[in-house]
Amino acid sequence: MHKLISEGKIFLSAGVFDVLSAKIAEAVGFRAVVLSGYAASASYLGEPDIGLLTQTEVLDLARRICRAVSIPVIVDGDTGYGGTLNVKRMVEELIACGAAGIILEDQTWPTRCRYLHGKNVIPAEEHAAKIRTAVSARKDRPFIIVGRTDALEVLGLEEAARRGRLYREAGADLIFVEAPRSREELEYIAREIPAPLVVNVVEGGVTPVLDLEDYHSMGFVSVGYVLTGIFAAAQALRKAYAHLLEKGTSKGLEGELMSFGEFTGLLGLEGKLEEDRQFLRP
């Protein structure tokens, strides 16, 4: 484990998209995962992240992941899927299913993923009201609220920072400015927003992929690699399926595959069988 993580100086989260990916992240040692809306839309619907995933579908997926792992699950709640009352319901439902937090963004609906053009944002005070609603809905329960702004691309860096400060004042525990494009912009965000800060990293995106030490030195407390898992899974599946189609056999893929024993161990087969045996004993 990286020294900064083991010492608790920075928090690293893996993006997950289904129960299996969450169980793998837990098995390798991650202390928290993020249910990525982008990845969930791809895996659950086979569709791009353009606002097609519904609140019901996200809650269903979150509920199943939370039941399967013991580590905290932060859920990408998009805009809350409506107004303040929709946010209230979303927070209450997530707490009931055991989630550890929600990310709420200030885009208009339907949303656009970080690197698509045509993004727009709602008025800052309207989103601040959603943050206040989320804070009220969680009551005194240990539930993290991440205030995200997508204003950087459409309204500029200064407005993104202003919104970050406003969302912090509204009660957000963490502030997430989406898609800073350079180290200088990351440093500006850290300097201008007096709050615990999140940075999300996407390979091939605009945010610089740096070492943890670099993000930590700037003042970021949490780093999320939200799409690494689904990119890796998609590449591995494509490679394996193409090999099968070309060769007509899985021979040659042995080094690329998890063994049957490892896989059933990951799923906890022996524990389930023992549980079944206990029920069958007189």
Domain boundaries, the chain: 3-234, 252-282
What are the backbone dihedrals phi and psi of residue 11, each rounded to the nearest 5 degrees, phi first? -115, 130
3-class DSSP assignment, residue 207: coil
pLDDT of residue 172: 98
Given a cut of 80, whether residue 9 has pLDDT beyond it is: yes
pLDDT of residue 115: 55
Dist. CA 63–CA 26, nearest whole Å: 16
Q: What six digits make up the tokens of 191?
A: 């300097």
Q: How long a stretch of residues is the chain?
A: 282
Given a cut of 60, whether residue 114 has pLDDT beyond it is: no
Taking residues 140-168, what's their average pLDDT?
Answer: 97
pLDDT of residue 78: 96
Dist. CA 215–CA 209, nearest whole Å: 10
Q: Going by DSSP bridges, is the β-strand pair 73-76/33-35 parallel, antiparallel, or unpaired?
A: parallel
3-class DSSP assignment, residue 198: strand
Residue 282 pLDDT level (bands cut at 50, 70, 90): confident
CATH for 3-234 is: 3.20.20.60
Given a cut of 60, whether residue 103 has pLDDT beyond it is: yes
Given a cut of 70, whether residue 116 has pLDDT beyond it is: no
pLDDT of residue 91: 98
In percent, how much of the chain has pLDDT > 90?
A: 93
Tell me the whole-structure pTM to 2 decimals: 0.95
91 burial level (CB within 10 Å; 0-12, 13-18, 19+): buried
Report pLDDT digits (tens) over 251-280: 999 999 999 999 999 999 999 999 989 988
Given a cut of 60, whether residue 139 has pLDDT beyond it is: yes
Rounded mean pLDDT of the chain?
Answer: 96
